[in-house]
Amino acid sequence: MQLFEQRGFHPRGDLGQNFLIDLNLIDSIVEQAELSQRDVVLEVGAGTGGLTMSLAESAGRVVSVEYDRRVYELAESALAGRDNVTLLRCDALKNKNRLSPRIVEALETALAETGEADAALKLVANLPYNIATPVISNLIASDLPWTRMIVTVQYELGRRLAAKPGTGNFGALSVWVQSQCRVKLLKKLPPNVFWPRPQVNSAVMRITLDHTRRARIEDRALFQTYVRGVFNLRRKLLRRVLYGLYRADLDRAGIDRILEELGLDPQQRAEKMDVETHILLANRLKRKIDARPAVGSAKECC
């Protein structure tokens, strides 16, 4: 806070800047990350570098990202001499569906520099509210060898990440994350642990990659598209939604057969289906689409 006053600038609400000022909470977050010298940490939202310094003491490498030039300069000064920290001034995202290539390149370099064949990546961050969802979702979608996330997010987002089927918070993000990860809300945070104080509560979330869960998904890109599609029209009946999503690949009879084979009620709605059922349905859709006869595959008559 004093650093900001000395420099004569204020946190930017449009960038979701709410800095974590509770030192005990910072220690708890680092402890939950269970870091070792084999780990590379990604931190999105370096702020003034307080959490970054704690991460650098335990991890092999830290790649920290700060978008705001003014705050970046504060972090750069605080982290001077930390040779295992790479501080980047850039946007964390290339677009809403992809992490920044600059960040991915820095992470791949850091992983290689550990010299460990089993080097792992962990996201540990007080995530800016306005980009928390795409950062989490896109890291899960990537091929980076991440194993764990310990992140602070808005409390409502934390509830969505951990939501159960049939509840108001259950949606595409819930299915996408839980299909591949174990999710736990570790702690609800009041506004007074941040500066400036946000108008909402926050949460510390632990998201752990589960390779067994992920292996059940036959095509992750198709599954992600499927999940977004069925929850974009979550109030509509499942059969009608699937007709619209896959009309270029499957006829109505084909979709009806899939629902019948899986024992799914065509009048079902996506928000009432559990994660396992969504995976089974997406896998079956993929197989039916892949099994279509290729155009022009029939033998030509001589």
Share of the chain above pLDDT 90, in %: 83
Q: Is 278:244 a contact under the CB 8 Å cutoff?
A: no
* Residue 31, pLDDT above cutoff 60: yes
Q: Residue 297: its pLDDT value, please?
A: 45
Pairwise CA distance, residues 169 & 217, whole Å: 23
- Closest of 160, 98, 129 to residue 20, by C-alpha: 129
Distance of CA 156 to the CA centre of its chain: 15
Q: In b/e form, how buried is each residue of 133-161, taking b as 16+ CB within 10 angstroms? A: bbbbbbbbbeebebebbbbbbbbebbbbb
Q: Where are the beta strands (DSSP E) in 39-109?
A: 39-44, 61-65, 85-88, 93-95, 98-99
Segment 87-145, tens digit of pLDDT: 999 999 999 999 999 999 999 999 999 988 889 999 999 999 999 999 999 999 999 99
Segment 205-232, tens digit of pLDDT: 999 999 999 999 999 999 999 999 999 9
Segment 224-256, tens digit of pLDDT: 999 999 999 877 899 999 999 999 999 999 999
Using CB atoms within 10 Å of the CB of residue 42, give its burial: 0 to 12 exposed, 13 to 18 middle, 19+ buried: buried
Q: 196: pLDDT confidence band, cut at 50, 70 and 90? A: confident
* Residue 46, pLDDT above cutoff 90: yes
Residues in a beta bridge with 98: 95
Domains and CATH numbers, the chain: 2-214 (3.40.50.150), 220-290 (1.10.8.100)
